[in-house]
A and B are shown apart, each in its own frame.
Chain A
């Protein structure tokens, strides 16, 4: 199983009469993009804008970020299984991508809410809206701040329910992403990387990547289309074992898509395959079970899968904070008990001046951990001149917003896979 990934970097982008890519310059036919969105009758409103790194621009009502990727050869369609796309297995042949670029899905829920409620203590209370992206300033901490973004602002008709709303808006941005990626489908990529993980070097250690992906099931039910999906499946289930190349074709997507298809751990492990390790597989653990028994069961299934695949080591991550950390601890423990050496990469909690511990569960099995920080944004989010993402923008969004404390509930940075260098240390 081999995947060629061809990258077409986007260094400049502008609206123009047609959609084409040449030498790093992407021209986008704005009217055509709008037309793709309203092709779904449930879409009541769409607008399309560009947001570039360094601008004093804030993107609000943020739901997801999609990188345009398209299959050129090889079966299946990228982002398989979601929004009615086929579940044909992916990860083979050739895929072309627009690098340094994303389509941003912004959906206005229709109920105007200010970004920070007036009676909240701005420096310590973090129960406030974090569904925004700052393109510059101290708050430009999300990975999307360094991408050239096509901001698609959407509203659905008022009678449309949550599931249909998702299918409408996410379907719209997928159509747009497919359309943009098709502009480079027939071109020769300036950069092409081949991922062939079939050869195993017996003198190198074999490792697996075990991301815990939270399921939306307890809010939307097992058949919900909303939330992080594996080939479109969102339910709490036994682990999904994927070839790393399937991840590169978007087999895990939604909530949020860009960091999953550009997963830095998948890329780092894949690039070091044959050099200092053998990258065997990605074992996706669905998380957010309701009882400890199920949590322990899910954990020992990961460990068993890792053993049967022949792994000696595992990197474990999670995409949700709070009590689900019990599942993370259980997974580390189960792997270590089977002799699989683990490294846990995770965000950590604010230690409240020594009153709390950085990890919710302090299991001695967690001997090797990499911290991606508490999620705090310690400086204010600068006031901006332009706000994109909706038809009616609350004036509060233009103002300076207070810093974010690094406690449970801080989900602005969400560096679940170690994209950045922010971390914590003991003093």
Chain B
């Protein structure tokens, strides 16, 4: 059985020309072209690059739908086992095009693999869904990259389960799974430290990943005419916890009225948060969590217009990030509908 590969290249690697022909519409050629020939040689027998799609970087960027339509037609026509796109190295438009081609193939149930520089936006914007071999900025390591593309393509065709990113040589996709390593953790740690101290290379087992950044909301222009709301993850609820808010792993939030109160009265409220000692809040002063007393002072002085009549509460103890996001989005919808202009969030 012949493993068939469809290869995607841009106008440059397709041997047609440089920037001046970046408007080249999608072309489909039988067999391998340029680096595709190297790819074919590296594929395990009887792998074959049955066709090559060549797309101008600008054409694909500016005519995305039409370009993808043509790729789809080629996929239907050639019915490949796997799609290989690039390597795109540091070329941004080429990288994005490769990503689109791979995503389209995957949508059609066809495995796909690509290669580009880790900071190429083609990868960074599609990390979770792309199988991508890391490359340098330029084509100097082409042979080595094509080698790895071929080996991954073979595994995909054979429906072999892929090992970890580190083992197989692809870029981490933000999917982490449990594995069993060859040596116990303590030995690995001392080995890693000795390596670090002697200037030897080492590979950290845990990536430091930035949380997604949210652009700051515009500052309040006129606080005196702004409605404010209070939200807290400190687990403060009316004494007796009438809605049974859990002390950890919360998936729900609740709201309690503070409409007719100028301060929270000790004894009427309690915190059921399981992650800190709640003695001070419960016996001395619930305003440590929901600072209603001073918020009302500022309201009386017309520092802001009005306070939303209820505060929102959940427990920030082992909360799943996905649950936190969902709760935040729900509260946001309600506050925006109620013309609230800003929020005070008291965390734990």
**Contacts from A to B (Cβ < 8 Å):** 125-127, 205, 207, 218-219, 264-265, 267-269, 272, 276-277, 290, 312-315, 322-323, 341-346, 348, 351-359, 362-364, 366-374, 376, 378, 406-409, 415, 417-427
Contact = CB atoms under 8 A, between A and B. Distances in A.
5 contacts: A272-B194, A313-B197, A343-B192, A352-B322, A424-B179
B63 interface: no
A420 B185 contact: yes
Contacts of A370: 185, 188-189, 192, 205-206
Main secondary structure of the interface of B (DSSP, over half): loop
Contacts of A205: 194, 197-198
A417 B190 CA distance: 11
A126 B180 contact: no
Contacts of A407: 249, 318, 320
A423 B204 contact: no
Main secondary structure of the interface of A (DSSP, over half): loop
B178 A376 contact: yes
Contacts of A269: 190
B248 A265 contact: no
A348 B176 CA distance: 10
A384 B343 CA distance: 52
Interface stretch (B141-149, B158-166, B284-292): B158-166
B211 A357 contact: yes
B183 interface: yes
B208 A366 contact: yes
Contacts of B66: none
Chain B: number of interface residues, binned into ranges: 35 or more
A364 B208 contact: yes
A269 B188 CA distance: 11
Interface in B170-224: 172-190, 192-194, 196-198, 202, 204-211
Closest 7 pairs between A and B when the two form their complex, measured CB to CB: A418-B185, A426-B172, A418-B186, A425-B164, A264-B186, A369-B206, A356-B321
Q: Which of A207, A352, A409, A427 has the most CB of B within 10 A?
A: A427
Contacts of A422: 178-181
B274 to A, nearest CB: 9
A424 B186 CA distance: 15
Contacts of B174: 351, 354, 426
A371 B180 CA distance: 11
B50 to A, nearest CB: 29
A362 B208 contact: yes
Contacts of A356: 320-322
Nearest to A417: B186
A313 B196 contact: yes
B249 A125 contact: yes
B4 to A, nearest CB: 26
A278 to B, nearest CB: 11
A370 B190 CA distance: 10
Given A423-B178, A423-B181, A425-B176, 7 more contacts: A265-B186, A315-B190, A343-B193, A355-B321, A367-B204, A420-B184, A421-B184
A128 to B, nearest CB: 10
A125 B323 CA distance: 13
A351 B210 contact: no
Q: Which of A351, A358, A368 has the most CB of B within 10 A?
A: A368
Contacts of A312: 197
A421 B206 contact: no
Contacts of B207: 358, 426
Contacts of A267: 186
A134 B94 CA distance: 54
A359 B180 contact: no
Given A368-B196, A424-B178, A359 B165 contact: no
Contacts of A126: 249
A345 B185 CA distance: 8
B325 interface: yes
Contact of A268 (B166, B186, B202): B186
A125 B250 CA distance: 10
B186 A363 contact: no
Q: Which of B164, B177, B182 has the most CB of A within 10 A?
A: B177
A207 B185 contact: no
Nearest to A424: B176
B348 interface: yes
Interface string B262-301: 0000000000000111000000000000000000000000
A142 B285 CA distance: 42
B248 A409 contact: yes
A424 B177 contact: yes
Contacts of A367: 204, 208
Contact of B186 (A127, A345, A427): A345
Contacts of A218: 276-277
Nearest to A125: B249
A295 to B, nearest CB: 14
Nearest to A377: B178
A368 B208 contact: no
A352 B164 contact: no
Contact of A423 (B172, B185, B211, B322): B185
A268 B187 contact: yes
Given A341-B193, A370-B192, A421 B185 contact: yes
B229 interface: no
Contact of A419 (B164, B165, B185, B246): B185
Contacts of B211: 357, 362
Nearest to B323: A352
Contact of A426 (B166, B180, B186): B166
Nearest to B128: A354
Contacts of A277: 190, 193-194, 197
Given A315-B193, A364-B208, A425 B165 contact: yes
B226 interface: no
Nearest to B196: A341
